[in-house]
Structures are given as C-alpha cells and as structure tokens.
Amino acid sequence: MNLEFTPEEQAFREEVRAFIAEKYPKHLGDTGMREDLSREDFVAWHKILGEKGWSVPAWPTEYGGTGWTPTQRYIWSEENARVNALMPLPFGVSMVGPVIYTFGSEEQKAQHLPGIRSGEVWWCQGYSEPGAGSDLASLKTTAVRDGDHYVINGQKTWTTLAQYADWGFFLCRTDPDAAKPQEGISFILVDMKTPGVEVKPIKLLDGGYEVNETWLTDVRVPVENLVGQENKGWTYAKFLLAHERSGIAGVARSKRGVEKLREIAANESLDGEPLIDDFDFARKVSQLEIDLAALEITELRTLAGEQAGKGPGPESSILKIKGTEIQQRLTELTMEAVGTYSAPYYGSIQDPGSNEHPIGPDYAHHAAATYFNMRKTSIYGGSNEIQRNIITKMILGL
C-alpha cells in the first residue's frame, strides 16, 4: 500500500498542468460561478479539449476516449480544479454519451458521438417530472407509436440548462399497462427544435436560471431515436445514474474551495484578529478538511477498485452523500466567513455589461448565491435519502 503517485503519473500531471496553463481560456479565469455565463463560455473549454482529444476521457478509446487510468482521470480533475476550470457539461459527456455507445445503434453512434466529443452539440436531460421527484419511475410523459414516429406528450422539470440545448434525452412511458412502474419506459432522443418542445426557465433562489420546465406537446420523433429496446429504458436510466454518481464527490473542487475559504478567513477579522485564528472558526475548517480527507481516500479506494475492473457500483452512493454534504458545508462556511457582506444581492447592481463595481470584497459577491445554489446537491441525481435507500438494498442487503 502507498499513497504516492508513480513517476509516470507525476509526469502526466505535469503535462496536464502545462496544457491547462497554456490553453484554458483566459477570460474565464477563476469564474466557477455560472449565473452570468453564456453558452459560448460553457463550451469554450470543451471545444479546446475536443481538438486535443481530451473531452471524453472516460469513454472507451474506440469512441474517442483517452484510455487514461482512473488515477489519471483523477489527476485530470484535480488539475482542472486547481484553476477552477469550467468543465464540459455532464449531459452529453457523462450521461447520454455512455448510454449511446453502450446501448445505441450504429447510426446513433455515428450521428451523436462526434458532436458530444467536439462540444458542438449541447444536450439536456429529461428525467424529472413535476410531482415525481426522486420517484423517477412514476413519470407520466407518454410516447405513443404512430407509424414511423413516437408522439410525445407530457411535462419535464429541472431540465438543467435546456435553454441552450440542441438535443435532449427523455424518459417516456411507452406501455402504460406494464405490471410495474419501472417497466414500459423508453429512452428517447429528441431534437429540441422539434415543433411542440417548449422550454421555460425557472428562476432559482440564487437569482440564476439554471433549470427549466420543459413542455412536450404532440412532439413527433422518428422511431430511430429510440435507444435500445422499447420499454427497457429503465435499465439504461439506471446505468446512466450510476455513471452520473461517479465523479459527483467533487473532491478536487472542494479542496480548492477550502483553500479559498482559508484565504477569505485570513482576510476577514474578528476581535481585531484574522478570523482564521479564531479557534471556533478554525476548528470548523479543520473538521471540514478532515472529512474531505476521508472522502478523498474513499474515492481513491473506489477508483482503485475500478482500476482493478470493478465498475462504479453502489459504493458511489457514499461518494454522492458525503461529497454533497461537504460541498454544502463548504459553501455554508464560506458564507459565514464573509459575514455581513453576504447580504447584498449581486444581481441588483451587476447587470451584464455593467462597469460598476459590486458591493463588498470580491470574494463576497457570490458567497450567498453559491450557498443557496448548492442546496440542490443533496436533492439532485437521486436525493441523498434515495442514495441511502440504494445502500440499504444493494450493500447492506436489508
């Protein structure tokens, strides 16, 4: 046993670091925050990575993956976190891409994989529905076969960044009479420009527009857009969710977040001393660092298992629960560190293009918004309660 990286892995890290330093778009800087970013901002880095052949590192090499080991992928994510890089969106790369190359037809692979690799085509995910929440299988959107088409009707919600999407992948009920709610569901790809698709942004607590309601009214989709077999969509959906959960721990990003927290707390003061020297505050930071260290080693152990040929299993639910709890505590503590200047609403003076400097120190601008935004992490991707249900069943055998 040892925790050291091999000389080859160190060399890889150097290569990655040099590449990021040279190529990461300067204007995106240390943004991290999403609410004022454009579609072009989101895909800028993705396109550069696509040219380099690094946009879909985890895919099999035959579909354009890098062949990196899980450890190399981990190093990759650490190096990106170091500069707080805006990473390719997961909907194409980590979600629908693996479903298409695993279950899709040759035509689907040829049609869709290149655009995901290059970042040209923006995907969104149509899973959640109003009233369904984590009970995903209760979805009501229907797809009815009509000749060479499916006709889709229903409403999806929480469709992340669908306002920019070219394509979406939707779970639809194709057999309303199936014995169990998980059966009779199909996985269908939808061109978002098809008549009858309507996307309506939902304003969130942080003032941003990250998610949408998506209405589907008599949307006619060619049957070729069905992935895999009709009524077997639940299998693909579960496969996708397990992929989504790997990497959700966000360790590298949280490590960077703790560094920033320390910088903020060194700048703020309490009783005339730096806040970070206040024992009550410092101990909360230490506790966070300790929990993060535990998460990091747990993730590395999972990666080592993956390297030995075990796919992302139910253990990834631990990473989801612990990772999101830590992300939430981090944003909470960052807001606490900022103190009074967490109150000004950034959006109220900072219109896009405005030259006026926002109120308070730079690090304060997004503290509250980020805290509000990150409450989503224990809810999305299968709420943390659902993750506990998964562990209950799959690992504890209860």
Partner 1 sequence: MDFNFTEEQEMVRDGLSRLVREQYDWETRRAAIESDAGWRPEIWSQLAELGILGMPFSEEDGGFGGGAVDAMVVMEEFGKGLVVEPFVPTVVCAGGFLKHAGTAAQKEEHIGGIVDGSRVFAFAYAEPRGRYDYADLETTAKKDGDGYVLNGHKAVVIGAPWASHLVVTARTGGSRRDREGVSVFVVDKATAGVVTRDYVTVDGRRASEVYFENASIPGDALIGEEGGALPLIEQVTDEAIAAQCAEACGAMKVAHAMTLEYAKQRKQFGVPIASFQVLQHRMVDMYTAYETALSLTYLATLRLGASEKERKRAASAAKVGVGQSARLIGQEAIQIHGGNGVTDEYAIGHYFKRLTIFESEFGDVDHHLKRHVKLA
- Rule CB under 8 A: which residues touch partner 1? 1-6, 9, 71, 262, 276, 279, 282-283, 285-287, 289-291, 293-298, 300-301, 304, 315, 318, 321-322, 385, 388-389, 391-392, 395-398
Instruction: Identify which of residues 5 and 63 has a Cβ nearer to partner 1 in the complex.
Output: 5
Kindly state the DSSP code that residue 133 receives in the 8-state scheme: T
∠ CA(214), CA(218), CA(219), 5° rounding? Answer: 65
Strand partners for 168 = 124, 190
Instruction: Identify which of residues 47 and 262 has a Cβ nearer to partner 1 in the complex.
Output: 262
Nearest CA among 102, 154, 109 for reference residue 127: 154
**Shortest Cβ 80–partner 1 spacing (Å):** 19
Question: Residue 77 burial (CB < 10 Å; 0-12/13-18/19+)?
Answer: buried
**Shortest Cβ 279–partner 1 spacing (Å):** 7
Nearest CA among 211, 207, 210, 203 for reference residue 344: 207
Contact status, residue 25 vs residue 48, Cβ threshold 8 Å: yes
**Shortest Cβ 313–partner 1 spacing (Å):** 13
**107 has catalytic annotation:** no
Instruction: Identify which of residues 3 and 179 has a Cβ nearer to partner 1 in the complex.
Output: 3
For tokens 């942004």, the residue is: 201
**Shortest Cβ 82–partner 1 spacing (Å):** 18
**Shortest Cβ 378–partner 1 spacing (Å):** 13
Contact status, residue 160 vs residue 202, Cβ threshold 8 Å: no
Q: In a 3-state reduction of DSSP, which class is residue 123?
A: strand
Out of 210, 230, 244, 315, the active site residue is 244
Instruction: Identify which of residues 373 and 377 has a Cβ nearer to partner 1 in the complex.
Output: 377
For tokens 């990834």, the residue is: 316
Instruction: Identify which of residues 92 and 382 has a Cβ nearer to partner 1 in the complex.
Output: 382
Question: The tokens of 92 are what?
Answer: 């194409």
Catalytic residues: 244
